[in-house]
């Protein structure tokens, strides 16, 4: 996982992943929330692309 950081530039905060600037926001609180959300999403793992089969097959629902 990349290291995220928040850098203040003037009156704005820049979210960085490694050495790459990713996003500019107006508050540190918003920047911190975005970093937390991104880290949680990365821990969940990849989402299957459109057209790919999920790793677990689902059964068709029974019709009564």
Percentage of the chain beyond pLDDT 90 is: 36
Query: How far apart, in Å, do the first and last CA atoms of the chain sit?
Result: 47
Contact 53, 43 (CB under 8 A): no
State how far the alpha carbon of 23 is from the alpha carbons of 6, 16, 26, in Å: 10, 7, 10
Residue 62 confidence (pLDDT) above 80: no
- The H or E element spanning position 13 is strand 12-17
Percentage of the chain beyond pLDDT 70 is: 78
Residue 19 tokens read as 């050495």
* pLDDT classification of 24: cutoffs 50, 70, 90: very high
* pLDDT classification of 13: cutoffs 50, 70, 90: very high
32-45 pLDDT, tens digit each: 998 898 888 878 87
Q: What is the pLDDT of residue 63?
A: 75
């Amino acid at each position: 996982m990349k290291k995220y950081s928040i850098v203040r530039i003037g009156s704005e905060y820049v979210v960085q992943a490694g050495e790459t600037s990713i996003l500019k926001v107006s508050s540190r609180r918003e920047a911190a929330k975005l970093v937390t959300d991104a880290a949680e999403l990365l821990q969940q793992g990849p989402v299957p692309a459109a057209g790919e089969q999920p790793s677990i097959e689902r059964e068709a629902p029974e019709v009564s």
